[in-house]
């Protein structure tokens, strides 16, 4: 396979200008973006992306979930395309780079190939996956999930937002429901460039994260039942304090996650206390324990220990405890060949790099089920994301897109 020569670089200024131009569509209230999926602003962003792709000589495909596929042809009509991309939709108070960098970085790969007059054996397709964020229509990564066969299209169309509007209706309303069958495309490989959304790369002073795994997650909802009683007049020995039981269980959650350091994490972000009154000892608490690890056996161990330790705590305190698994996502191991292409690209270009595990879900996590897949990450300031203050430097963006360019073009095979 012919790799690009090491002096080849994308155009960092052009990439940055495109990021800034896209950010003008669906502005937020604090310098970021509110370009939520299937809003008018999403439609405008899609139209701008299509204009740019067509100007770069690409043809645009559109499937029934609104996923966009801009293709630069290859020289071999039999060769499956190399796909690259991410998402243009944002959180309601989102940043300018989460997702957008991966789509426009893919476009920059094609623009650079055009500049250099390089032909590839495999076509290259830049994808915008619909509704990655999942804020307006849960769940996240909805359309890449349908593409990978994780959800049915009917189920996805029936997702509704807070106002009761349905995904399928809103997709048609903004004019981006295509004809193409979802998931019919076959991929030679898929690459996604994304900002890290965490603090590790910046803290380690690395330009590039070579993403080897995606964290798996497990959600266990725990209900502890005691007895509501007056906080003043109930003697301490006579209390059945469900809130205290929860506090002790949460100490265990922390201990269990730390026992699998450094990659495992655990916390409860959702907590409901009943009756939630200042002068009533809580008679019932419901909370969800979120455990994550790139290793499935670690997740299973953490789940099992939560149940054993939780039961012991409840028994000792005269409380009742019940556990229900309410969600989960298996860890992702990205394709070794694609991961190596990314690592070699960073090496060839002279960028500092390290292996990293994605703590967040991404479209690439679903596509990995149907095609050889890997991700490139670049740092973001203070690890901040899903926030309008999300920031990256122009150099970080350019380095990420350079690595993407080299990995994609090597995989698509340069025709001499």
Residue window 268-307: x/- pattern of binding to Zn ion, with contact defined by CB under 5 A? ----------------------------------------
Q: Is the CB of 98 or the CB of 303 nearer to Zn ion?
A: 98
89 makes contact with Zn ion (CB under 5 A): no
The neighbouring-strand residues paired with 230 are 280
Provide, rounded to whole angstroms, the least separation between the CB of residue 268 and Zn ion.
Answer: 24
Q: Is the CB of 98 or the CB of 207 nearer to Zn ion?
A: 98
Compute CA distances 311 → 29, 119, 314, 333, 399, whole Å. Answer: 47, 63, 5, 33, 50
Computed on alpha carbons and rounded to an integer, the radius of gyration of the chain in Å comes to 24
Strand 332-333 vs strand 208-214: parallel, antiparallel, or unpaired?
antiparallel
Provide, rounded to whole angstroms, the least separation between the CB of residue 87 and Zn ion.
Answer: 6
Q: Is the CB of 38 or the CB of 257 nearer to Zn ion?
A: 38
Q: Which stretch binds Zn ion (CB under 5 A): 58-66, 99-107, 290-298, 327-335?
A: 99-107
87 is in an annotated binding site: yes
Provide, rounded to whole angstroms, the least separation between the CB of residue 316 and Zn ion.
Answer: 44
Provide, rounded to whole angstroms, the least separation between the CB of residue 360 and Zn ion.
Answer: 7
Provide, rounded to whole angstroms, the least separation between the CB of residue 94 and Zn ion.
Answer: 9
Q: Which runs of consecutive H residues, i.e. helices, occur in 193-294?
A: 200-204, 242-258
Strands (E), 177-230: 189-195, 208-214, 216-225, 229-230
Q: Which stretch binds Zn ion (CB under 5 A): 94-102, 146-154, 220-228, 315-323?
A: 94-102
Residues that bind Zn ion (rule: CB under 5 A) add up to a total of 2
Decide if 378 contacts 392 (C-beta within 8 A): yes
Provide, rounded to whole angstroms, the least separation between the CB of residue 100 and Zn ion.
Answer: 9
Q: Is the CB of 195 or the CB of 412 nearer to Zn ion?
A: 195
Decide if 47 contacts 162 (C-beta within 8 A): no
| Cα–Cα distance for residue pair 269/391, rounded to 1 Å | 25
390 makes contact with Zn ion (CB under 5 A): no
| Cα–Cα distance for residue pair 19/116, rounded to 1 Å | 22
Q: Which stretch binds Zn ion (CB under 5 A): 95-103, 142-150, 217-225, 296-304?
A: 95-103
Q: Is the CB of 4 or the CB of 99 nearer to Zn ion?
A: 99
Q: Is the CB of 99 or the CB of 283 nearer to Zn ion?
A: 99
Provide, rounded to whole angstroms, the least separation between the CB of residue 23 and Zn ion.
Answer: 15
Alpha-carbon torsion 272, 216, 88, 174, what sign? negative
Q: Which stretch binds Zn ion (CB under 5 A): 92-100, 134-142, 175-183, 395-403?
A: 92-100
Provide, rounded to whole angstroms, the least separation between the CB of residue 370 and Zn ion.
Answer: 19
Q: Which stretch binds Zn ion (CB under 5 A): 49-57, 97-105, 282-290, 301-309?
A: 97-105
| Cα–Cα distance for residue pair 35/15, rounded to 1 Å | 19
Q: Which stretch binds Zn ion (CB under 5 A): 28-36, 91-99, 172-180, 329-337?
A: 91-99
192 is in an annotated binding site: no
| Cα–Cα distance for residue pair 51/129, rounded to 1 Å | 17
Binding-site member from 98, 192, 196, 391 for Zn ion (CB under 5 A): 98
| Cα–Cα distance for residue pair 215/265, rounded to 1 Å | 10
Compute CA distances 252 → 166, 286, 302, whole Å. Answer: 41, 16, 10
99 makes contact with Zn ion (CB under 5 A): yes
Q: How far, rounded to the nearest angstrom, does the alpha carbon of residue 284 sit from its chain's CA centroid? A: 34
Degrees to nearest 5, angle at CA 129 with 337 and 371: 25
Residues of this chain, 237-266, that bind Zn ion according to CB under 5 A = none
Provide, rounded to whole angstroms, the least separation between the CB of residue 85 and Zn ion.
Answer: 11
Helix or strand (DSSP H, E) at 305? helix 296-317
Alpha-carbon torsion 148, 137, 46, 363, what sign? negative
Q: How far, rounded to the nearest angstrom, does the alpha carbon of residue 404 sit from its chain's CA centroid? A: 17
Residues of this chain, 135-194, that bind Zn ion according to CB under 5 A = none
Decide if 293 contacts 257 (C-beta within 8 A): no
Q: Give residues in contact with Zn ion (CB under 5 A).
A: 98-99
Task: Pick out the residues of the known binding site.
Answer: 87, 98, 133, 194, 386
Q: Which residues are annotated as a binding site for Zn(2+)?
A: 87, 98, 133, 194, 386
């Amino acid at each position: 396979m012919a790799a690009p020569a090491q002096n080849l670089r994308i155009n960092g200024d052009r990439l940055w200008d495109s990021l800034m131009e896209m950010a003008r569509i669906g502005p937020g209230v604090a310098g970021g973006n509110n370009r939520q999926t299937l809003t008018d602003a999403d439609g405008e962003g899609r139209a701008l992306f299509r204009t740019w792709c067509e100007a770069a000589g690409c043809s645009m495909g559109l499937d029934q979930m609104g996923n966009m596929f801009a293709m630069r042809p290859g020289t071999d009509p039999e060769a499956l395309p190399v796909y690259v991309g991410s998402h243009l939709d944002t959180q309601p108070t989102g940043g300018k780079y989460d997702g957008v960098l991966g789509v426009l970085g893919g476009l920059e790969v094609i623009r650079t190939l055009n500049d250099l007059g390089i032909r590839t054996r495999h076509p290259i397709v830049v994808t915008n996956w619909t509704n990655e964020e999942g804020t307006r229509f849960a769940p996240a990564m909805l359309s890449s999930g349908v593409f990978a066969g994780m959800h049915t299209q009917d189920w996805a169309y029936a997702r509704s937002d807070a106002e009761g509007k349905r995904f399928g209706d809103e997709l048609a309303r903004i004019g981006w429901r295509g004809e193409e069958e979802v998931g019919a495309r076959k991929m030679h490989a898929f690459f996604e460039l994304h900002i890290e959304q965490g603090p590790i790369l910046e803290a380690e002073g690395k330009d590039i994260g070579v993403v080897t795994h995606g964290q798996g997650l497990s959600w266990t909802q725990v209900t502890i039942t005691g007895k509501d009683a007056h906080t003043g007049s109930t003697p301490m020995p006579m209390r059945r304090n469900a809130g205290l039981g929860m506090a002790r269980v949460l100490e265990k959650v922390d201990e269990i996650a730390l026992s699998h350091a450094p990659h495992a994490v655990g916390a409860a972000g959702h907590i409901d206390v009943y009756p939630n009154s200042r002068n009533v000892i809580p008679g019932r608490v419901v909370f969800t324990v979120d455990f994550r690890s790139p290793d499935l056996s670690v997740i299973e161990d953490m789940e099992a220990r939560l149940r054993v330790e939780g039961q012991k705590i409840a028994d000792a305190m005269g409380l009742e405890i019940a556990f229900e698994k309410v969600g989960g996502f298996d860890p992702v191991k990205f394709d070794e060949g694609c991961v190596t292409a990314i690592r070699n690209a960073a090496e060839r270009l002279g960028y500092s790099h390290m292996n990293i595990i994605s703590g967040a879900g991404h479209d690439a996590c679903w596509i990995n089920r149907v095609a050889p897949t890997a991700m490139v990450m670049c740092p973001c300031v203070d690890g901040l994301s899903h926030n309008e203050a999300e920031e990256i430097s122009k150099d970080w963006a350019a380095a990420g897109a350079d690595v993407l360019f080299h990995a994609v073009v090597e995989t698509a095979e340069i025709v001499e």
